[in-house]
Amino acid sequence: MDIQFLGGASEVGRLGMLLRQGPETLLFDYGVLPKDPPQYPLKAPPVDIVFVSHAHLDHSGMVPWICGRQDANVILTPVTSNVADLLLEDSLKIADMEGYESPFDDADIQATRRNSRTVDFGETVDVGSMEVTLHSAGHIPGATMFEVNGNQTTLFTGDLHTLTTDLVRGAKPVPCDTLVVESTYAGRNHPDRLKTQYEFLRKIEEVNRRGGLALVPAFAVGRTQDILLTLAKGKFDVWLDGMGKTVNGIYLHNPEYIRSAKDLKHAMGRVRVVHTAHGARQAMQGEVIVTTSGMLDGGPVIRYIEEIREDPRSAILLTGYQVEGTNGRRLVEEGVVDIHGVDVKIQCEWQKFDFSSHAGHNDLVRFIEGCDPQRVVLMHGDNRELLAEALEGREVLMPVEGQWYSL
Ligand SMILES: [Zn+2]
């Protein structure tokens, strides 16, 4: 068996991994690096089949490019299929708005829909002499690990979370010979989730007490729902704006992929949804607004920042990792946000909370030990050596993009 990374081995983003055994070529994930304009992985050769671990565009954003050029089936869970479709359509709109050329068009997205074969956790897909079984990766609802049984057992994790959150149950180790595992948080651990939730809710109380509004930028997919479930533990007047609204609907239509549809429904029931400009003005009178984009690059969040940025009583509460070059990163590092092409200083308070949906360093080590592989392939990380050091005694491979490795 041979593998090659088309992207996303030594960095986080634009992941794509080819796996070749005999005459078959499998592709796992094919994503973009979300920058402006996005950066793309190496061009994929002809493949027999594409497996998509989850909807986030750094894993799915280039799948239409394949489907527009080759007649390969795409294997993914139903919830991943629905959410990816939404994000891919949105990425075309963004390309249009920002004035760069997308590598695929609407016809390619339609081809992706036609080629998609949805499969549930626990089910198996035959590819030539191999069998591929889907397992939950715990990262967001529908996120999948693929267990490939050929002349050896290989597990590809995609993005991985091993701890159970309010939204989704943590992933369980799968015994394998070769483990291809993400390493986003190599060398770093997360603070305790319950403590983070407590501090987040207390901060909102503090902001509201002094008469301010808590603006919570959150990614539409996964994070928004996690935040709504946290907010349901308090008694706030919460408003929801942005694409997270549509994703909530998709999750509730696929209840078997979330930890508790009842809890998410309950959390949604406590939230008022912004549909119009009038609604947005009403939301400004509320206590909390949850909205996209999570990294402050476009979306309704910009309008709300304009409203509160000079109000020392209000606060921006970031809930996710802020990628270099994004507005969110500029806020954290320089106290400045680009609004419609103009750098404006943010005078209200801001704070970052760690609601990560990736396994931390110690969680990764425990998961790897649970899988007990002969060989560990570290991918999807820019600090992989820190994880390799913790795996002393095991064969560890840190592939570079573009090179074939025989396993
Ligand atoms: Zn992800």
Q: What is residue 234's DSSP assignment? A: S
Cα–Cα nearest to 133, from 143, 120, 124, 142: 124
Dihedral sign from CA coordinates of 197, 227, 294, 111: positive
The alpha carbon of 185 and the centre of ligand 1 are apart by a number of angstroms equal to 13
The alpha carbon of 295 and the centre of ligand 1 are apart by a number of angstroms equal to 14
- The pairing of strands 178-182 and 153-156 is parallel
Which residue is associated with the tokens 């009038």? 278
The alpha carbon of 56 and the centre of ligand 1 are apart by a number of angstroms equal to 5
* pLDDT tens readout for residues 199-234: 999 999 999 999 999 999 999 999 999 999 999 999
The alpha carbon of 218 and the centre of ligand 1 are apart by a number of angstroms equal to 14
* pLDDT tens readout for residues 363-387: 999 999 999 999 999 999 999 999 9
User: What pLDDT is stored for residue 36 in this prediction?
Assistant: 73
Question: Quick one: which H or E segment has residue 74?
Answer: strand 73-76
Tell me which residues have their CB within 5 A of the ion that is ligand 1. Answer: 56, 159
For the chain, state the CA radius of gyration.
21
User: What pLDDT is stored for residue 363 in this prediction?
Assistant: 98
Q: Which ranges constitute the DSSP H helices of 173-299? A: 193-209, 223-231, 244-253, 261-269, 277-284
Centre a 10 Å sphere on the Cβ of residue 168 and count the other Cβ atoms it contains: 26
Cα–Cα nearest to 15, from 63, 49, 85: 63
The alpha carbon of 139 and the centre of ligand 1 are apart by a number of angstroms equal to 7
The first and second tokens of residue 53, run together, are: 């671990």
The alpha carbon of 206 and the centre of ligand 1 are apart by a number of angstroms equal to 31
Asked whether the beta carbons of 174 and 154 are under 8 A apart, the reply is no
Main-chain dihedrals φ then ψ at residue 302, nearest 5 degrees: -60, -45
The amino acid at residue 295 is M
* pLDDT tens readout for residues 324-360: 888 999 999 999 999 999 999 999 999 999 999 999 9
Mean predicted lDDT score pLDDT of the chain: 96
Mean pLDDT of 170-190: 98
The alpha carbon of 282 and the centre of ligand 1 are apart by a number of angstroms equal to 33
Q: Which residues touch 204 (CB under 8 Å, ≥6 apart)?
A: 214, 231, 234, 236, 287, 288, 317
Question: Quick one: which H or E segment has residue 66?
Answer: helix 63-67
The alpha carbon of 238 and the centre of ligand 1 are apart by a number of angstroms equal to 26
Residue 58 CA from chain centroid, whole number: 8
Cα–Cα dist 121/79, whole Å:
11
DSSP string, 17-28: EEEEETTEEEEE
